[in-house]
Structure 1
């Protein structure tokens, strides 16, 4: 009887793993298909409005609500462990002070992340490895603020078997990235960040597409006057998606989350972004954006 139960449990575990791998395989396929009509939703710092930002809890909740991507901010400890921390200092988000690099991982883990109203709870600063193990087989991960740590992050992803789930990014031009990371650039999923109101924006995009064919381009624009917004088919025609941030006005010409959330004006926020080519949207309101997309089918 015990042997029979072991077989059943093993079968259920295998079934769960297969379903999980199928889930992330679908997302990876969608990420690499610029003609896919579905909008991919990225949760900025996880579900940070309902849990400490960049915490394991915030990422768990974002995964459970059904987003496609979670965004993490990379930093490094004194003993060279890649951790998740947006700011240069830990003062704002924890009960500690100073830089992550002032502490070893063991020392950093003694601090606690702040929840609502600045109160600290039980959550600690996670490592990239912890986040990738959580995300494994479930979701894609956007590695923000990662350019100084590509090699260290790459090792973590290889160790955890999650390399194909992670999106590396930077606003540096192609030549700079190639010079700094010649050994791994062709082995990672890559997304350049382009400030499209700048004169060389189109040239930067064309150069990247010629050299390495990025999976997507993250377009930043404080005003919505760029010609690239009027016609960015050339990005998708060369095999890349268009990522636009809905976080705050300076990133999207004023077509941000707040307009949708506070004013109920989805036409001039998320609807506008989609109408202007966005196939991936990073948001601080992931649950509401998912509801909107389901309503719009």
Structure 2
């Protein structure tokens, strides 16, 4: 009986661990659209690229296991029109190939393999955007970076995979530009998020225009100095019913309140804590496991 009880206890512990790593997508989407929530959503930049090739299916899977709410990906298009996950303009840094992805067909790219974070070889293949969305479906949201040029193609894949509400597409364009180029897909269909560089003179005007015309679910704000953030009217975003998304990736995006300060230098309150204190309810990170743990310890992540 003692052995049976121990076995059951282990099973319950393991089951609880798995459940803790998985969140219902409806809860994540609901929280993303809830401006009153104090919880902080975690976005894994290019998945878990420290342990897997960036923008790979395994990097996405491992990030999901860490308990993130969203994965960030980048898109390029092949010669025959297939959207693939790829950050760079060329294949050289992240794959065994050379040249532009647009010079290859999908089948040709599948003969290549991905490199890991140290540039070493793996046996993993370049994934398509469709494969990515089938992987995340019902599990986490996706932030599409470097994908605005393929806006309509992205939407078609999201419809095909039944994941329109899972995805966010973004750019640093003004509302007027986005409306002119993709107005038929704004708001009620594919979620659009403005990226605003707060050091630019027109930052407040860009925010005001989006507040008046679109009321986005979130704004991604970039700033190189504390004053660039504090001296703008970014606080109006919260009052307008939108969330603030801040990046912890490297210093020029967040005035030095970054992942390195939080993890390598052991000062999370000066890094992630500062971002949260200044309104961040979504944080994109290269340290997803550590950020999830930090937030859960403070009751800021489910």
TM-score normalised over the length of structure 2: 0.89
CA distance in 1, matches of 2:174, 2:82: 27
Distance apart, 1:183 and its partner CA: 1.9
Mapping for residues 70-109 of structure 1, pairs under 5 Å: 70-109=71-110
Q: In 2, are the aligned partners of 1:230 and 1:276 still within 8 Å (CA)?
A: no
User: Could you tell me how far apart the structure 1 residues matched to 2:85 and 2:105 are?
Assistant: 14
Deviations 1:16-44 (A, max 9, x none): xxxxx980111110010111010000000
Structure 2: gaps of 5 or more residues: 1-21
Show the counterpart of 1:12.
none
Q: Is the contact made by 1:229 and 1:277 (CA closer than 8 Å) also made in structure 2?
A: no
SS of 1:67 mapped into structure 2: coil
Q: Are residue 139 (structure 1) and residue 159 (structure 2) matched? A: no
1:224 counterpart (219, 223, 226):
226
Runs of 4 or more off by more than 2 Å in structure 1?
A: 226-233
Q: Take 1:293 and 1:231, find their aligned partners in 2: how far apart are those partners?
A: 27
Output one character per residue of 1:164-201: Cα deviation in whole Å (capped at 9) or x when no partner: 00001000101111111122123221110000121111
Map of 1:29-68 to 2, 5 A cutoff?
A: 29-68=30-69
Which whole-Å deviations, capped at 9, do the CAs of 1:188-243 have from their partners, x for residues lacking one? 21110000121111110110111111110000001111254786431021111000
**Residue 120 (structure 1) shift:** 1.3
Structure 1 stretches lacking a partner, 5+ long = 1-20
Residues in 2 aligned to 1:237 and 1:30: alpha-carbon distance in whole angstroms: 17
Report if aligned partners of 1:75, 1:84 keep a CA contact under 8 Å in 2. Answer: yes
RMSD in angstroms over aligned alpha carbons?
1.6
SS in 1 for 2:115: coil
Which residue does 2:256 correspond to in 1?
A: 254
Change (3 A) 1:121 1:227: closer
Compute the displacement of 1:267 (Å). Answer: 1.4
- Asked whether the equivalents of residues 229 and 276 of structure 1 are also in contact (C-alpha less than 8 Å), the reply is no
Contact 1:164–1:189 (CA under 8 A) maintained in structure 2: yes
For 2:15, the equivalent position in structure 1 comes to none
Q: Indicate the SS of the match to 1:225.
A: helix
CA change 1:196–1:270 in 2 (3 A) is same
Secondary structure in structure 2 of the residue aligned to 1:141 = strand
Match of 1:283 in 2: 285
1:206 aligns with 2:208: yes
| Counterpart in the other structure of 1:266 | 268
Give the whole-Å Cα distance in 2 for the aligned partners of 1:227 and 1:41: 21
Q: Aligned partners of 2:271 and 2:37: how far apart in 1?
A: 21
Q: Distance in 2 between matches of 1:110 and 1:278?
A: 42
Aligned twin of 2:173: 172
Give the equivalent residue in structure 1 for 2:294. Answer: 292
CA distance in 2, matches of 1:86, 1:28: 25
2:192 paired residue number: 190
Q: Distance in 2 between matches of 1:198 and 1:275?
A: 23
SS across alignment from 1:138: coil
Looking at structure 2, the residues matched to 123 and 89 of structure 1 have their Cα atoms a distance apart, in angstroms, of 18
